[in-house]
Structure 1
Amino acid sequence: MKKETKIVAGILAGAALGAAVALILSTDKGDDVKEKLSDWFADLLDSSKDKLADVADSVKDKISKVRA
């Protein structure tokens, strides 16, 4: 599961970098940018949790097959 963890960490790091660049280059008002970034990070976090849950379920299934 280390490989999946590294992938998720890389995605989150890339997302943070992208958000910082978007914030710097944005022409929107500060509050609008903060709201958009907050929503985007919340969606990203939800997506990451779903992916990690899928990986955990897959690992549990494989372990139960090995034990059976």
Structure 2
Amino acid sequence: MSFDPRNILVIDFGQLGDVVMSLAALRAVRERFPDARITVAVGKPGVPVIELSGYANTTISVDRVALR
């Protein structure tokens, strides 16, 4: 049985260092599912990190304070 998702949502509302540390996992997801559309929802400080990594197709900036 094969599992090939077309869309993957990754949510990472951690601090900037947490976002940097999650890049290895995000890279693994990209390598495992190269044709999937990956969207990452991340706190505002992490947006440039995700965008510069090239692992996500779309980055959503989330105001963490508004979620409280």
Shorter-chain TM-score: what band? 0.3 to 0.5
In the superposition, the TM-score normalised over structure 1's length comes to 0.33
Per residue, is there more strand in 1 or in 2?
2
The structure with more radius of gyration? 1
Per residue, is there more helix in 1 or in 2?
1
**Structure possessing the higher relative contact order (Cα contacts under 8 Å, 6 or more residues apart):** 1
